[in-house]
Each structure stands twice: as C-alpha cells, then as structure tokens.
Amino acid sequence: MKTSRIALFASTLMCSTAFSAQAAELEVIHWWTSGGEQAAVSLLAKEFDADGQDSWRDSAIAGGEQARAVVMQRILGGDAPQAAQFNNSRQFEELAEAGLLLDLSDLAKKEKWRDVVRPKSILDPCEIDGKIYCVPVNIHSDQWLWTNKAIYKEVGLEEPQSWQDVIDQAGKIRDAGYIPLAVGGQGWQEDLTFDDVFMGVGGKELWNKVYVDRDEDAAKSPEVAKVFETYAKLRDLTDEGSAGRNWNDTTSLVINGKAAAQAMGDWARGEFVLAGKKAEVDYGCVPGPSEHPILTTGGDIFIFPKQDDADKEAAQLRLASMLLSPDVQVKFNTAKGSSPVRGDVDMASADPCMQKGLALLNDDANIALPKNAILSSDTDGRIQDLVSQFWNTPSMTVADVQDQFVHILQDGS
C-alpha cells in the first residue's frame, strides 16, 4: 500500500483538538484471542471501563496480519476504529505520514514518556517526523525456548542451552515417544523460529551487520549459511500434524506433555500461567537458547485513527494515558507474559521466567532490534515468505535460499 494511496483518504477525515467530559465508546481492534491473551486484554478493558466515563468495545480478530488488514481497510474506507493494536515496528508509518493518526505528542510530553519508557528503542518507532503516533504497551522478546521439565527429567537430559543441544537431544526424546520441538505450521511461526536460530547461532553482531547495516558480504557469509543449515535440521524434529496449527495450540503440546519444547515469544508464558503451571517447576524458559542470549525488543503498540468526534478523541487520549499508567503496566504485563515498557515500576512479584527477561533487558548489550522494526513491511514479508518456503521445501538448498535472501535485502528497504 503506497503512501500516496493513503493520502487520498486523509482529506476525508477531520480531527478536533477540543477536549470533552462526555463519555464515549471506543472500538478497539486487536488480535489477542488465545486464552492467556484474552485474560490479559480483559484487564485493559476492565481498567478503561472502571470509572464509568468511557467504555471499551472489544473487536478481536484472530491473526496479526488479518487484524492489521481489517484496520487498514476500515481506515481507508472512512470507518476507522478508535484504537487498534499493531506491532512495535514500521507497520503503521504510512498511516502517520498521511495524517490519518492522532498525534499524541502533547500527551507524551506531559506524561514524560521519553523519561519513563525504556529501552529508548521501544518508543522510537512511535516517533515519525518528530511527532508521537503510538503507545507502546509491552516488551515482547521472541528468543525463548519453552520446555516441559517432566519430559527432560524422564529421559535424563538437561534442558538445551543451544540449538545444537536441541538437535543432539532430539533422537532420545523421540525414542521416548515425544515431539522434540513443536513448531506451528504458519509462516510467521516458521519465521520466528528462524529468527531465534539466527540470533542463537549467528549472534547480535551478525544480526546487525545483515539487517541494520545491510552488509552484503555478511549476508553471503558462511556464518549465515550455518544459520540456514541449523534451521533446516529442525524440520525433522517436529510432528507431521503441524500444518496451519496456531501458536497457542502448539504451546499446549508442551503444556500437556506431548512435546519437549517450543520456540516462541515470551507471550507463551501466559498460556502456561492460565493452565496453572509454575515457572521453573512445571515448565522451563531458556533464553536463546544460547550461551550468550540476546533478546529483541519488539512488542505491541496501539494507534488511534483520527476521528471527527471531539468526545471520542478525548476518550482516545484517556485510553492512551491509561495504557502507560504504572498500575496497568504491572497488571497487564504480568498476565500477558511480557515485560513492562516503563522502567520505574515494581516487578518484584514477577515469576522466575519473567525475572530472567527483565534481567537481560536491563543491559543494552543483551538487546537487539527485531527485524520488523528495521525493515519495511514489504521486505520483512518477503523474507518471511522465503523462510517459510525453505522450511516447507526440503529439496531447496542452503545456497539457493541464501542467494534469494541476499537479493531481498539488496532490493528492499
């Protein structure tokens, strides 16, 4: 979707800066549909409805890509929701550039978002041409291996600390009747697993050279070839029934003792919590897996499409403020499995898995940008398609996929 196309619709929308005390109903579109996610988002709705001034009208759409597509269509069709979830990335920059999003700069300045949001990279994607257009609500990291501790104990293995460990242990786990590594057969899950392998095998320096610096020699290097080789070996570790399987259904295989492990973002923790499982007792959480784990600082944000109703705009600003309030940050992220974006909240009650993530995030050396915050949506999507094709085409060689990978990076933005 080109900015020029979006701009054609910008003139049809009006934005009032007037504030009103009138109550307003806000439609909020999001893709939090799993059990753990629903428990977390219901806390946000409850908090927003609590004072009786405004109300949250929930519009949940399964799947991030599907939800974002609906939001874009609604905005361009002149029927925009009042708030919508996006990822902390470049996914919404064209909407902001076209003047279709509410400018939150005054609120951000008043509430000192730059002082309390950490790391700095979390708020950076919200700032476009010097103005703030989104509210980050959490920090999500993809680089986690979730394990069933009972399975590893039964087969007499320690939890894997590297991707090579995952591969080496697979035979013994399969012989015991378990799936060594559960992977949901959807493009974004296959891509997430690839990113985890890239970071775990290649490390932060290679990640930055390839994605941030667009170093062609790095992308063509034997180190990147090793990433693809390692990723290819994981195909034989999963089960035949993975095609089209949702991430939370894949997590359930670990929870219910059918699979030993799953590579998934820290939001998987919410599913274990909902199932009544205890961190580092029933399930494990291995960052990386890597001897020197690096976490990407992605997450979820909310944008607020412009309205022609002053009452709704005032309510949008109240919602934006609430999402970053200290109390809500603690409640929501504890339920969601993510980390708060505020660095000034007390998370002493966080479970061992959450504490691991917080400790790593406290040191910038352990942090990297997710590729969807670096690459355009088009380039990121093309890489996801390539990775999925490679995963599902065993006859595709490492040399072939690496050549196409390099071409996409050279051609993209």
DSSP track, 15-80: ----------EEEEEE---SHHHHHHHHHHHHHHHTTSS-EEEEEE-SSHHHHHHHHHHHHHTT--
Alpha-carbon radius of gyration of the chain: 21
pLDDT for the residue 21: 52
Q: What is the pLDDT of residue 49?
A: 96
Tens of pLDDT, residues 141-159 = 999 999 999 999 999 999 9
Parallel, antiparallel, or unpaired: how do β-strands 367-368 and 295-296 relate?
A: parallel
The per-residue pLDDT for 362 is: 86
What does the alpha-carbon distance between residue 381 and residue 402 come to, in Å, rounded to a whole number? 16
What pLDDT, on the 0 to 100 scale, is given for residue 39? 92
Percent of the chain with pLDDT over 70: 95
pLDDT of residue 285: 97
pLDDT digits (tens, 9 = 90+) for 195-237: 999 999 999 999 999 999 999 999 999 999 999 999 999 999 9
Residues of the chain below pLDDT 70: 1-21
**Closest C-alpha among 289, 315, 301 to residue 127:** 301
CB 92, CB 67: distance < 8 Å: no
Closest CA to 297 of 87, 9, 100: 87
**What pLDDT shows up at residue 241?**
82
Main-chain phi, psi angles of 36, to 5 degrees: -65, -40
CA-CA distance, 118 to 115, in Å (whole number)? 8
Rounded to whole angstroms, how far apart are CA atoms 382 and 267? 25
Write out the H or E segment, with its range, that includes residue 101. Answer: none
Please give the sequence-ordered ranges of beta strands (E in DSSP) within 252-402, or none if there are none.
Answer: 261-263, 283-287, 295-296, 300-303, 367-368
Tell me, what's the pLDDT at 343?
87
What DSSP element (H or E) covers 258? none
Q: Are strands 55-60 and 25-30 parallel, antiparallel or unpaired?
A: parallel
> Distance of CA 85 to CAs 28, 62, 332, 370, Å?
8, 12, 15, 17
